Amino acid sequence: MTLHQLTIAQAAALLKNKEISSVELTRAVLDRIEAVDGKVDAYLTVDTNGALAQAKEADQRLADGTADTLTGIPLGIKDLMCTKGLRTTCASKILENFIPPYDATVITHLKKAGAVLVGKLNMDEFAMGSTNEHSGFKVTRNPWNLERIPGGSSGGSAAAVAADMCLGALGSDTGGSIRQPASHCGVVGIKPTYGRVSRFGLVAFASSLDQIGPLGKSVTDCALMLDAIAGHDPRDSTSVNEPVPVFADIPDGDLSDVVVGIPEEYTNAKGLDPQVDAAVKKAIATIESLGARTITVALPHTEHAVAAYYVIAPSEASSNLARYDGVKYGFRDKSQTDLMEMYRNTRSQGFGPEVQRRIILGTYALSAGYYDAYYGKASQIRTLIRNDFQKAFESCDAIVSPVAPTPAYPIGATLNDPLTMYLSDVFTLSANLAGIPGISVPCGFSDEGMPIGLQIMGRHFGEAMLFRIARGFEAAAGIQDKKPTLE
């Protein structure tokens, strides 16, 4: 196995035993980017010099005994987390040359741990989308089939991990943006409980739904990254002061004390690809073979999740994105002398069509006279969805479902059909609306060789249970070592 193919856990052990150095490992990852990113297009910025400097510092820490588990590990970051001195674009022309003067809290944590930050990863602009086609700069491709979408919005993060262009990555998830690309690219990704990870320095899309989380080559790797970034942060008033367990201490194998709920609304969902359905059913059988008991649960308000999300998320986005007006930072249309014209042109030229669509939708939903009918109503549905989960978790420890209704589809398939793209979020949105954690773990492949993911959702702050079931499943299913060939 070559160095760039290592998991974080494997690399950390080799670094600790001084069998490899972080500089060697980082060089291997940079070489890999050089070799394959021309095909995949996952990175918006590669910080070669910064990464090598951090690797040297990491080697020093490894030598003097002050190293952490992530010390010297090359990671990639979705380009909507602020990195001091390093361009942060949100894949938007409006922030094309934005250099943040500060680090997001998650970046501060990773730097403290001694991780090597290789660069910034492509995404749908401002995290709005499920395909990466809505990036203002380029389309990331799925390493398993370069003609297909990697998913989104954290498609760059998922593709980079799948193609071994970093050992792990951070993404963000507002309605599925970690889990869905993880599923499409055959990697693991977890959206933690809302409030588990600080959002300070995460460029806001929909503040009541956004959450940062890791994508990795294994369940253990995701646990190791979440260990480094989770915890209360006084600079994010929505981060919760709950004790954080050591997630990487995952008990092995036996699930005989675990009850897993299967929601009938999800298994009979319209538009569910039979191959996805079959892979998920097989995964459930594997989880049962580890001792877990399965029961049917009801999530009766699921059918309203897409409608509620696509009112709440654009509404919050329209408010959050009001700050990009060409005055304070980012792109400005300098040809105008009239202030209103300058605003108009800056925003029409700086934002792409999907972002403009969301701003218009959200502004309409929040406008006087409509607020109660749209945002108010959607918030009530949100409460009903949250109550559904609470009730279901009275009789089970976790809920399993598909992640996406189909495997990754061809690039271009939904480009002019936003409704179809929105509908494909049906299995992931509810976890964000309810604020609960959800993990995507690879569970099979389609006949065409595209990865399929299994979603496991849990109680608020119940990530440890998700890691436990996912780790048990991963070991029993044994599909983790399959790699894309990138030809």
Complex with ligand GLN: residue 173 or 397, whichever CB lies closer:
173
Q: What is the DSSP pairing of strand 438-445 with strand 451-458? A: antiparallel
Complex with ligand GLN: residue 205 or 393, whichever CB lies closer:
205
Residues sharing a CB contact under 8 Å with residue 275, sequence separation 6 or more, in sequence order: 407, 446, 447, 452
What single-letter DSSP state applies at residue 252? P
Asked if 79 and 90 count as a contact pair (C-beta separation under 8 A), the reply is: yes
Query: Phi and psi of 120, rounded to 5°?
Result: -110, 135
Q: How far is the CB of 14 from ligand GLN (least distance, A)?
A: 34
Identify the bridge partners of residue 293 per DSSP, sorted by sequence position. Answer: 259
Query: Phi and psi of 451, rounded to 5°?
Result: -65, 155
What 3-state DSSP class applies to 13? helix
- Give the separation between CA 191 and CA 433, rounded to whole angstroms: 12
**16 in active site:** no
Complex with ligand GLN: residue 74 or 129, whichever CB lies closer:
129
Q: How far is the CB of 438 from ligand GLN (least distance, A)?
A: 11
Complex with ligand GLN: residue 424 or 446, whichever CB lies closer:
424
Q: DSSP of 277-337, one letter per residue?
A: HHHHHHHHHHHHHTT-EEEEE--TTGGGHHHHHHHHHHHHHHHHGGG-SSSSSS---TT--
Q: Name the residue type at position 3.
A: L
Q: How far is the CB of 277 from ligand GLN (least distance, A)?
A: 21
**177 in active site:** yes
Q: How far is the CB of 129 from ligand GLN (least distance, A)?
A: 5
**Three-state secondary structure along 290-302?**
CCCEEEEECCCCH
**Three-state secondary structure along 170-226?**
EEEECCCCCHHHHHHHCCEEEECCCCCECCCCECCCCCCCCEEEEEECCHHHHHHHH
Complex with ligand GLN: residue 33 or 313, whichever CB lies closer:
313
Give the number of other Cβ atoms within 10 Å of residue 335's Cβ.
8
Complex with ligand GLN: residue 151 or 472, whichever CB lies closer:
151
Q: How far is the CB of 308 from ligand GLN (least distance, A)?
A: 12
Identify the bridge partners of residue 116 per DSSP, sorted by sequence position. Answer: 74
Q: How far is the CB of 357 from ligand GLN (least distance, A)?
A: 11
Total count of residues recorded for the chain? 487
Asked if 4 and 116 count as a contact pair (C-beta separation under 8 A), the reply is: no
Element (H, E) at 108: helix 105-113
| Tokens describing residue 23 | 């500089």
Complex with ligand GLN: residue 128 or 223, whichever CB lies closer:
128
Q: Which residue has the tokens 């979705």?
A: 78
- Give the separation between CA 150 and CA 161, rounded to whole angstroms: 11
Q: How far is the CB of 298 from ligand GLN (least distance, A)?
A: 25
Q: How far is the CB of 356 from ligand GLN (least distance, A)?
A: 14
**92 in active site:** no
Active-site hit among 21, 78, 172, 401: 78
Q: Which residue's Cβ has the minimum distance to ligand GLN?
A: 177
Complex with ligand GLN: residue 352 or 472, whichever CB lies closer:
352
Asked if 215 and 157 count as a contact pair (C-beta separation under 8 A), the reply is: yes
Complex with ligand GLN: residue 40 or 426, whichever CB lies closer:
426
Q: How far is the CB of 176 from ligand GLN (least distance, A)?
A: 5
Complex with ligand GLN: residue 59 or 425, whichever CB lies closer:
425
| Tokens describing residue 471 | 């780790």
Q: How far is the CB of 169 from ligand GLN (least distance, A)?
A: 15
Q: What is the DSSP pairing of strand 168-173 with strand 211-216? A: antiparallel
Query: Phi and psi of 379, rounded to 5°?
Result: -70, -35
| Residues forming the site for ligand GLN (CB under 6 A) | 127-130, 153, 173-177, 205, 313, 425
Active-site hit among 22, 130, 154, 177: 177
Give the number of other Cβ atoms within 10 Å of residue 98's Cβ.
17
- Give the separation between CA 436 and CA 453, rounded to whole angstroms: 18
Active-site hit among 21, 130, 153, 318: 153
Is omega for the bond preceding 218 within 30 degrees of 0, making it cis? no
Active site amino acids: 78, 153, 177
